[in-house]
Structure 1
Amino acid sequence: MLFRRRQPQNLASRIRTLVWPRRSYARSFEYFRKRVLRLNATPHAIAAGFAAGVFASFTPLIGFHFVVAFALAYIISGNMAAAALGTVVGNPITFPFIWGLTYEVGQFVLRSDPITGEAPRGLGAALVHMDFASIWAPFVKPMLVGSLPIGLTAGLLGYGLVYSAARSFQKHRARRILARRQPSSAARLGAATAASRGPGEV
């Protein structure tokens, strides 16, 4: 399976690692960055896949972010592994900010009145009873509308950053591989030349 750990984590361990990474946030970010850049694909495919995952993370379609990301990645010729990694942008730490921002933008676009009073308490009851029809208009619809411009902006920004980083990483790796091969090629050429000469030849 893609990116499977040797020792699977339980839910509590995953949440703890997300909130307080074992390696520190800086090292965790560097590890995540390398996983993205080392994917075996073109810079466009990596960047497009990552952008698809970022866009999907801004939608309120919880539980379907992978589906949305993979569908978008397929349409724009993105890498599926990069799309999966891009969905990490949406996590328990960022979701409150994403949901609040998409809701406010959606309310502004739709020119709807803000929800007050009993509605927030009714949200919990609707979720418990799986009554999604009652939360579509007041909550899901504005969040979905708001997620489109915000997700598109974040996706384009992610594409630009990842494309530039992936292209630079791949060029640097190609130069490094070429530098390793040149001395060995020169040594083999020298050995072949020496072997082709006769005993008395200089």
Structure 2
Amino acid sequence: MRVAVWPRRSWSRSVNYVKKRVMRLRATPHAIAAGFAAGVAASFTPMIGLHFILAAVIAWLSRASIVASALGTFVGNPLTFPFIWGVTYALGEKIVGAGGAHGSPVDLHKYLSWSEFSFEAVWPLFKPMLVGGLILGTISWIAFYFPIKALVSGYQARRNAHFASKAEAPVREAAPAAE
């Protein structure tokens, strides 16, 4: 259970792993960047548990990398979700009005009980988070797309140049077998 919430080694190692996976994907820089940005944007929606699916649908519709979209959803994680949910709710509440019972604090207990679950009960919390999430998701898509496209373009150019120089290098002949 701990591994699902906290990485085995360290956060920096996990971030480096995702970075290398994104850079090494076989797709255009646009497809990789758009896919990753779609995953990040999906993480800002209140569709808890559906971020992978939502990111994949966005990536498929925009002809971006579905694998990159899955990697992009890792921006939403146990460390970032409290911040993301708080900011999306606050922004959405400012735009659509009070999400709770006319500005009163939201009673989370009624949202966590499956026996009393109803969409009407969840709507005061869901609506502001959806509005705030769509706005912040769009902003995050833009904020991630351009830097990732530039990084992937540079990485692919360096990698292609490296392989081209290896292909042009003279091949050393094997030493004759000693008898």
**What is the TM-score when the length of structure 1 is the normalising length?**
0.78
Partners of 2:165 and 2:19 in 1: CA distance? 24
User: Looking at CA atoms only, which structure, 1 or 2, has the larger radius of gyration?
Assistant: 1
Aligned Cα RMSD in Å? 2.0
Relative contact order higher in (CA < 8 Å, ≥ 6 apart): 2
Q: Deviations over 1:127-163 (max 9, x none)?
A: 5533232111x10000000011101011111111110
Structure 1: which 5+ residue stretches go unaligned? 1-10, 189-202
Specify the alignment match of 2:176 in structure 1: none
The alpha-carbon distance between structure 1 residues 104 and 174, as it changes in their structure 2 partners (threshold 3 A), is same
1:19-168 → structure 2 map (5 Å cutoff): 21-22=8-9, 24-112=10-98, 115-117=103-105, 119-125=107-113, 127=114, 129-136=116-123, 138-168=124-154
Q: Return structure 1 stretches of 4+ with deviation > 4 angstroms.
A: none
**What is the TM-score when the length of structure 2 is the normalising length?**
0.87
- Once the two structures are TM-superposed, the CA of residue 117 in structure 1 deviates from its matched residue by 4.9
SS in 2 for 1:133: helix
User: Match for 1:63: what amino acid?
Assistant: G
Partners of 1:96 and 1:180 in 2: CA distance? 48
Partners of 2:133 and 2:49 in 1: CA distance? 16
Identity %: 40
Matched, 1:14 2:1: no
User: Match for 2:108: what amino acid?
Assistant: P
Contact 2:106 2:125 in 1 (8 A): no
